[in-house]
A and B are shown apart, each in its own frame.
Chain A
Amino acid sequence: MVVLADAVNTAIIGKGLMIGLGFIGPTIGMGIVGGNFLSAVGRNPEASKFIGQAFVFIGLIEVYGLLAFAATFFVK
């Protein structure tokens, strides 16, 4: 393992994993929010007034992806 750590810059692998894994969750969550919003609107067109609430949930979700992205700047 010492040889591997010397040969490969593990910080870059770590950054890549952080960005990749950190973006998977929030994007799945945003897909669920958007899909459920669209299915609700399709079932009941009057529900389209709740798009503000849908955006609030997207705002709640996206902060976790941004946290993962911001954490990459502290990996040296």
Chain B
Amino acid sequence: MISLFAIGEAGPIVHVAPHTLFTIGGWPITNSVFYGWICTIFICSVLIWVARRVKIKPVGGIVQFFEYGVEFVSNLVESAFDDKRKGRKYVPFFVVLFFFILLNNWLGLLPIVGEGFQAHGTPLFRPFTGDLNGTLAMGIITMGLVYSASIKESGGFLKYIRHFFVGSPLNPMYLLIGFIEMLTDLTRVLSLSLRLFLNVTIGDIVIAVFAYLGHIAAPITALPFTLLEFGVGALQAYIFVVLSVMYLAMAVNAHKEDHDLTEELVQETIGAKKVEATV
């Protein structure tokens, strides 16, 4: 967001909360949701356009970028699971999540987004990921998928609850640790959404501050931080996906039976080697 017009007398204009543009049936529609709709239509149309162009023989240009992203995320998801076939099921969700966050972050850096482009005194557009409600919705949906999938994979609610406890829940120490584990599990929604929201919003604020400091030369002073925000946006999309995959994989992998080498197995292998050596 190069805030070209954010030059005020008192300082840079900073809004942490989004503005209400209009209401539909009593529901306030804020500028972040409005821009989120536009971005969603854009992202859907771009992804559909790309999906029609993908061929076995590689196509250059923007299609290759999306192909690389899909491959990157699918490798990421599959390598996190012990059983690769289990991981393949969740690849489409995480690919969509990655591209949604990435393109929302990048579209939020356009010059039309922010304080510069106003209608009736309120900014018309605001990045969708720069609104706590939007990122909270993403976090709730992601963690909802993680919880439902891990309950399904572990085969029952009680078995899912069981994996929080390292040993027997009758041991008071393990009981306490298990409850603390559950509480930290619930804070993941908040930490996922707050991380994305704060990174995008504070990136916008930093750009606005440097555009204000630059005064007439605002584009020159704001450009390095806009480029930095491109990297931060990509990094945040990566981190969001990696963390949610990690949470899912931790819950799913925990229910595998341990295949540690017991003493019997070790003895067998040693014995087999001896037999081979003698034969």
Measured CB to CB, the residues of A under 8 A from B are: 52, 55-56, 59-60, 62-63, 66-67, 69-70, 73
Chain B nearest CB: distance from A19 CB in Å? 12
Using a CB-CB cutoff of 8 Å, which residues 1-46 of chain B contact chain A?
14, 16
Q: Are A70 and B242 in contact (CB under 8 A)?
A: no
Q: B residues within 8 Å of A by Cβ?
A: 14, 16, 191, 194-195, 198-199, 201-202, 235-236, 238-239, 242-243
Q: List 16 A-B contacts (CB under 8 A).
A: A55-B235, A55-B239, A56-B239, A56-B243, A59-B195, A60-B239, A62-B199, A63-B191, A63-B194, A63-B199, A66-B199, A69-B202, A70-B198, A70-B201, A70-B202, A73-B16
Add 17 more A-B contacts to A59-B236, A59-B239, A70-B202 (CB < 8 A): A52-B238, A52-B242, A55-B239, A56-B243, A59-B235, A60-B239, A62-B199, A63-B194, A63-B198, A63-B199, A66-B195, A66-B198, A66-B202, A67-B194, A67-B198, A70-B16, A70-B201
Q: Across the interface, which residues of B come within 8 angstroms of A52, CB to CB?
A: 238, 242
Give, as a whole number of angstroms, the nearest-CB distance from A73 to chain B: 6
Report the bound CA distance from A63 to B199 in whole Å.
Answer: 8
Complex alpha-carbon distance, A37 and B198, angstroms:
26
- A56 near B194 with CB under 8 A, answer no
Residue of chain A at shortest CB distance from B242? A56
| Nearest 4 interchain pairs by C-beta | A59-B239, A66-B198, A63-B195, A66-B202
Contacts of A67 on B, CB cut-off 8 Å? 194, 198
In the complex, A70→B191 CA distance in Å? 15
A56 to B243, CA, bound (A): 8
What's the least CB distance linking B119 to chain A, in Å? 24
By a CB distance below 8 angstroms, the chain B residues around A70 are 16, 198, 201-202
Q: Smallest Cβ distance from B225 to chain A, in angstroms?
A: 14
CA distance A69 to B205 in the complex (A): 10
Bound-state CA distance A59–B191 (Å) is 11
The closest CB in chain A to the CB of B240 belongs to: A59
With CB as the reference atom, state the residue of chain A lying closest to B191: A63
C-alpha gap A36/B201 in the complex (Å): 30
Chain B residues within an 8 Å CB radius of A63: 191, 194-195, 198-199
Bound: A73/B195 CA distance, A: 17
Distance (whole angstroms) from the CB of A39 to the closest CB of chain B = 23
- Which residues does chain B contribute within 8 Å of A56, judged by CB atoms? 239, 242-243
